[in-house]
Amino acid sequence: MNILFNETTKTFHLFNEDISYLMTVLRNGQIGHLYFGKKIHHKEDFSYLLETAYRPMTSYVFEDDRQFSLEHIKQEYGLYGTTDFRHPAVEIQQANGSTVSDFQYKDYEIMEGKPKLAGLPATYTESSKEALTLIIRLEDPLTHVILELSYTIFARGGIIARSARITNGGDSDIQLTRAMSLCLDLPDCDYEWIQFSGAWSRERHMKVRRMEQGITAIDSIRGNSSHNHNPFIVLQRPGTKEEQGEAIGFSLIYSGNFLAQAQVDAHDVTRVLLGIHPSHFSWKLDPGQSFQTPEAVMVYSCQGLGTMSRTFHNLYRKRLARGYWRDRERPILNNNWEATYFDFTEEKLVSIAAKAKECGVELFVLDDGWFGERSDDHAGLGDWVPNLTRLPGGIAGLAQKIEDMDMKFGLWFEPEMVNKDSDLYRSHPDWIIRTPGRHTSHGRSQYVLDFSRNEVVDCIYQMMAKLLTEAKISYIKWDMNRSITECYSAALPPDRQGEVFHRYILGVYDLYERLTAAFPHVLFESCASGGGRFDPGMLYYAPQGWASDDSDAVERLKIQYGTSFCYPISSIGSHVSVVPNHQVYRNTPLHTRANVAYFGTFGYELDLNKLTEKEQEAVKSQIAFMKKYRRLIQFGDFYRLSSPFEKNVTAWMCVSRDKRQAIIGWYRVLNGVNQPYSRLRLHGLLPDMPYRILVDGIERKERCWGDELMYLGLVTSDGTSGEVPTDIVPPCDFDSRIYLLEAVEEKGERT
């Protein structure tokens, strides 16, 4: 890894063994983009890549030059005015009303490691040798606004992390109306755009489309990153597959409003922009003040989507997630939500917990309904004090009972919300987000607290910290069940109302930061009606997130498969729930529900007392199985093998770091008759190593070399015809299998 700067050509070259990133100072002082992709040889001069030519209907910067047009030059951080007509990366309204900016190169700095982004989640380094950071400083000579573009290249992998910082170095106020985290001009438009979109309970479905002249975009202006779109896109070359082809993933480490867009211009240049959504955004900078954008991470892969995902997984698991739980196997939990909803007593909870303990569960989680006057979703949010009618011993009493069973206790909160029927609202009706004189909408009878105000965040912190101090709480599920409407803060002046959405998220991060610092052993799981805020920003504070309120095993195949493109398996909250499923009313076999939920944090969202004895025995085996293999699953290398978006069969696998162990999940949605033969080509194994193969715990008589499994494939056929021998469990709809591969010590013991 290195960052070279050539003083004569003023060219920067960031590279490691995988990638090169090239940019140069342009004749007008702006920074031009030259290249991002597979590593290339270093040269002093790459200026030939600045393709300029005379073109009709183009505007030029210099009187003596009919070629230098920013419309045609690829840039690092596009600006409005000065001849670029594409959407800019930054826009600043100045005292005279002008929005033209002209940032000119001043100097640069290279440092080892990576500086922190104050108040914002970001990737980090643990040693100065893990990364190098380049900061390029530019200044607008008229306004004296300073722009700092930051680029971190990590020692390994195709990763560049970027952000921008804008400082008002002038002597009058300015309004920032757009400040993207990343702008990347790619040389052509021969890409397919991939997004991960959906809605509540069908989050992160993979959608692919060809790009064309014009704009392709996804966004959120809901105040949360949203169920509808994830702040992550991929541009892939046509023909790219899991293990081959070129792809660039773009991920925003942010949990609020965002925009991800690719604009293909008239000459097939593609400009990618990623950052805070400019709509409903402005930020006033008094002289001397700065604005720091969130961080965006780009991952380039020339070995397909699989390598891109594994690069994100490693980075986000090890250098975005933090704290005590980062590298630890996640506890197997039982959450009471789908078991009881609001209808519980302490006695009922204790009985659910007791059965869970008997089956091997490690953590019992009490969900919504334990606080204030909450007996349904109309009241109580904001009053984070236990309801003593329901829980006579309070949370401390219940937590102690659970601890006495030798289990950990976890608790649900929705810190950002309030019901009008609550003591908090009655004392502070002005603390909700609402626009004066306008109707205030609700979602699930709840209102959003104005987290842009420190006193609001402080008050919630005090209530939560008190409980965490008094009771033995080992886990918090932090929920967020509505989006922001009528965004406005009573605490800010009119010219700062555009700051509320971002200040709100900064308040959320502040509360997370304070709680995780004060209670470092508590495991946080983020949630927003399931996967409404499943984003890298959250991952910095909460190493796992409830991926979706849809707990149906078949639906989860798409949700978890889509989620895996950016997020590590250790971050995907996944549980077994009852049948008929509460979201789609589908009946799936218990083994399939577990086989899907294994590929995440694992747990149960039901009352195990209500299962038959046979099912309870099965649950005991599932839990024992997960305890044995969760390190492999949660911290191994993940490979997608067959897509639920394309096929009836979904398959994925995790391989241990030493490649001696692997686990494969195989799922078939609909059964068929007299089915075709099938094999799954595996990945990541040691070609010269023989492996024993266990199918649902039963060892196959043949052993296979790693190369056989990777190049011929694992045979997965079953005849599935009308008559099945009596000693075989017939396959069914929604069936699944778990294959385990274990390296055999004595080499050559091939049978």
| Residues of this chain that bind ligand GLA (CB under 6 A) | 337, 367-368, 412, 479, 481, 527, 529-530, 546, 549
| Residue number, 78 or 530, with CB nearest to ligand GLA | 530
Strands 229-236 and 247-253: antiparallel
Separation of alpha carbons 167 and 150, rounded Å: 14
Name the minimum Å distance from CB 443 to ligand GLA.
Answer: 11
The two structure tokens encoding residue 381:
């949010």
* Sign of the dihedral through C-alpha 604, 419, 480, 482: positive
Name the minimum Å distance from CB 73 to ligand GLA.
Answer: 47
**585: Cβ–Cβ under 8 A, 6 or more apart, which residues?**
none
| Residue number, 376 or 495, with CB nearest to ligand GLA | 376
| Residue number, 446 or 485, with CB nearest to ligand GLA | 446
Residue closest to ligand GLA (Cβ): 368
Separation of alpha carbons 491 and 640, rounded Å: 48
Strands 11-15 and 19-25: antiparallel
**353: Cβ–Cβ under 8 A, 6 or more apart, which residues?**
334, 364, 401, 402, 405, 407
Name the minimum Å distance from CB 709 to ligand GLA.
Answer: 38
30 in helix, strand or coil?
coil
Name the minimum Å distance from CB 204 to ligand GLA.
Answer: 15
Name the minimum Å distance from CB 511 to ligand GLA.
Answer: 18
| Residue number, 168 or 529, with CB nearest to ligand GLA | 529
| Residue number, 460 or 680, with CB nearest to ligand GLA | 460
| Residue number, 219 or 479, with CB nearest to ligand GLA | 479
Q: How far is CA 8 from CA 40, 46, 600, 727, in A?
A: 20, 12, 52, 78
Q: Which residue has the tokens 């980062």?
A: 326
Name the minimum Å distance from CB 100 to ligand GLA.
Answer: 46
The H or E element spanning position 212 is: none
- The residues annotated as belonging to the active site are 479, 549
367 in helix, strand or coil?
coil
| Residue number, 74 or 477, with CB nearest to ligand GLA | 477
Q: What is the DSSP string of 224-286?
A: S--SSEEEEEEEE-TT--SSSB-EEEEEEE-SS-EEEEEEE-TTS-EEEEEEE-STT--EEE-
In 338-397 the beta strands, taken as DSSP E runs, fall at: 363-366
| Residue number, 123 or 529, with CB nearest to ligand GLA | 529
Q: Can you give the three-state secondary structure of 282-327, one letter per residue?
A: CEEECCCCEEECCEEEEEEECEHHHHHHHHHHHHHHHHCCCCCCCC
Name the minimum Å distance from CB 529 to ligand GLA.
Answer: 4
Name the minimum Å distance from CB 528 to ligand GLA.
Answer: 7
Question: Would you call the peptide bond into 493 cis, given omega within 30 degrees of 0 as the criterion?
Answer: no
With b meaning 16 or more CB within 10 Å and e meaning fewer, what string describes 49-67? bbebeeeeebebbeeeeeb
Separation of alpha carbons 133 and 114, rounded Å: 6
